[in-house]
Chains A and B, each alone.
Chain A
Amino acid sequence: MSTARRIGDVILKVDHISLSFGGVKALTDISFDVREHEIRAIIGPNGAGKSSMLNVINGVYTPQQGSITFRGRERRDMDTYEAAAHGIARTFQNIALFSGMSVLDNIMTGRNLKIKSNFLEQAIWFGRARREEIENRRVVEEIIDFLQLQHVRKTPVARLPYGIKKRVELARALAAEPSMLLLDEPMAGMNVEEKQDMCRFVLDTNDQFGTTIVLIEHDMGVVMDISDRVVVLDYGKKIGDGTPEQVRSDPEVIKAYLGAH
């Protein structure tokens, strides 16, 4: 499967993360790591705390305990802006596109950290502001080509079908040229064909750009196929961690999750 890429050192490490809302414990003492260039899956039944885990990684939620080490720097919790600035991009379980804007503008928002001109320069649309706009447009067009979104470039996203929306969200995340991509159920609610497309995009991204990918997915077939290592969560606790083969044969995982199938 993977030819060009080579899995590198640990890039992200979460240690003893615990998170609760009011009295409800969402995550209890979770630790795992992610290596550079790998595809790391997080699986588990509904309500296992998978999305919460992603939200902790890019700073949307602040855990009560534990630490996050990203690129060698240990933190109590991540700051959302900092996460973005350090190259962590993200898609959401329930599509979180900017519904009032076109596909092109949505993807352009992904480039925002690359734009240095201030609002005054942008207001007169001159010099650096204009150059940056054109330059970033070029990059965005490459992503549009990559994800085959040419035909909907200027369509408002609210008018798009579900599968395309998911793809636009991936495009927006890729526009930031992230070193790590967090995908929250990128294939949920898709038919087989759309799933295959999305799988291919995810693999291509990993392969061509060397992007590290952390993904949550329910489709076991997909997870076992594309991921290098898998974390299994159940009721906010980690019950398994390893290669797909290891996880598949772990008795506790089978009991809690796979056994249900």
Chain B
Amino acid sequence: MIYREAGQFKTSYVTDAQIFPIAQDRIGIALMLLVAFVVIPRTATPYFFSAIMTPFLIYALATIGLNILTGYAGQLSLGTAAFMAVGAFASYNFMARIDGMPVLLAFILGGICAALVGIVFGLPSLRIRGFYLAASTLATQFFVVWCLTKVPWFTNNSASGVITAQQIEILGYRFDTPQSKYLLVLVIVTVMALMAKNLVRSTTGRAWMAIRDMDVAAEVIGFRIVHTKLTAFAISSFYCGVAGALYAYCYLGTVEPEAYNLDVSFRILFMVLIGGVGSILGSFLGAGFIVLIPIALSYLVHFTGLSNSVTSNLELMVFGALIIFFLIVEPHGLARLWQIGKEKLRLWPFPH
């Protein structure tokens, strides 16, 4: 595959402002979508869908959500899972309490609930920054999970505090196999990822990056700080909320609030860090990487005959070491490595 831009002249701002301005990128994306939509559904096993592809896509969506907030708008959050939980439990309640609620609408409403909660918990960001903000998002994490556990209404008075996601049915078609659930998730994630890509290359995205890089200058230019920060919290939480709903409906099936604990928040933060802070593509790379590590490790442990408890501890160590490694060696993560690779390819085989 030769990656050359030569000869691709942009003759209008319309062509230069395309979502993927380089022809090879367009072909690459088209091929990826072809594989994701056609090849994988025809060839993969149910295990591959339910243990790898579906969680990967859902995590990627949540990672995009966190990346919007942390990567683009520069507001560090340790409470991602809380917003996912809000999305999941809100969708569940819309489905359970309103007859004939279409499931997609329930997901969207769940996302909107998460966005509202995001705005409320984003309010401290107007006064505080950095670690203080990180600590306040931890408050979100603990408070939301506690609330969902303690208030029976949220779990529809289920005695154990566990909810079972309703059957997904859209226009009479039941999504009950791993394959169909994968396809549903794929469609939603593809659409939302493209929308995120559009957002970050328009004024909204520029406003986020402006307050991230230099908030006083952003204000002087005429960005309204309050509005910009809260939109970032709202849209980020919306993405996390939908991801949380998909996590419950298409991945776990039955969930308790504890499924959205601090550990999940950290995991998604790692995906952002390893994938690439401030990159939509990176969100996918990071999610894929973090989803695959435990699987790879469990194979490794299996073949070397170590005990199973080793896997989880080894996983913690590998995650920790990788974070430090990436922060030191390539703080922009896999997305930057990808970009460097592309730049090399442009010149290959004559790099001088």
Contacts and interface: CB of A to CB of B under 8 A. Distances in A.
Say if the two chains contact directly (CB < 8 Å): yes
Interface of A: 58, 60, 80-81, 83-85, 89-90, 92, 96-101, 105, 108-113, 115, 117, 119, 122-125, 129-130, 133-134, 137-138, 141, 172, 176
Nearest to B202: A122
B55 interface: no
Among A83, A92, A119, A134, the one with the most B-chain Cβ atoms within 10 Å of its Cβ is A119
Contacts of A100: 209, 212-213, 278
Interface stretch (B13-21, B25-33, B139-147): B13-21
A98 B19 CA distance: 22
Nearest to A58: B220
Given A84-B222, A96-B217, A105-B209, 9 more contacts: A60-B216, A80-B220, A96-B220, A98-B210, A101-B209, A112-B206, A112-B207, A115-B203, A119-B231
A122 B199 contact: yes
B198 A109 contact: no
Contacts, number: 98
Contacts of B13: 134, 137-138, 141
Contact of B221 (A105, A130, A176): A176
B218 interface: yes
| Those 7 A-B pairs whose CB atoms lie nearest each other, nearest first | A84-B222, A96-B217, A98-B213, A122-B202, A123-B195, A125-B198, A137-B13
A81 B198 contact: no
Nearest to B14: A134
B6 interface: no
SS of B interface (majority): helix
Contacts of A115: 203
B14 to A, nearest CB: 6
A98 B220 contact: no
Contacts of B199: 119, 122-123
Nearest to B228: A112
A54 B213 CA distance: 22
B219 A81 contact: yes
A81 B219 CA distance: 6
Nearest to B234: A119
Interface string B1-27: 000000000000110110100000000
Interface string B29-71: 0000000000000000000000000000000000000000000
Given A96-B214, A100-B278, A125-B198, A109 B17 contact: no
Contact of A97 (B214, B223, B224, B231): B214
B235 interface: yes
B298 interface: no
B204 interface: yes
Contact of B17 (A60, A96, A134): A134
B26 to A, nearest CB: 15
Given A92-B217, A112-B206, A124-B195, A119 B222 contact: no
Contacts of B207: 109, 112
A141 B16 CA distance: 12
B203 A123 contact: no
A101 B213 contact: yes
A98 B208 CA distance: 11
Given A123-B195, A125-B19, A137-B13, A84 B221 contact: yes
A83 B216 CA distance: 13
B197 to A, nearest CB: 9
A92 B217 CA distance: 8
B129 to A, nearest CB: 17
Contacts of A92: 217
Nearest to B226: A81
A134 to B, nearest CB: 5
Contacts of A113: 222
A90 B218 CA distance: 11
Interface in B264-295: 278
B17 A129 contact: no
Nearest to B217: A96
Contacts of B209: 98, 100-101, 105
Contacts of A117: 202-203
Contacts of A176: 221-222
A255 B117 CA distance: 62
Contacts of B195: 123-124
B146 to A, nearest CB: 32
A105 B205 CA distance: 10
A138 B17 CA distance: 11
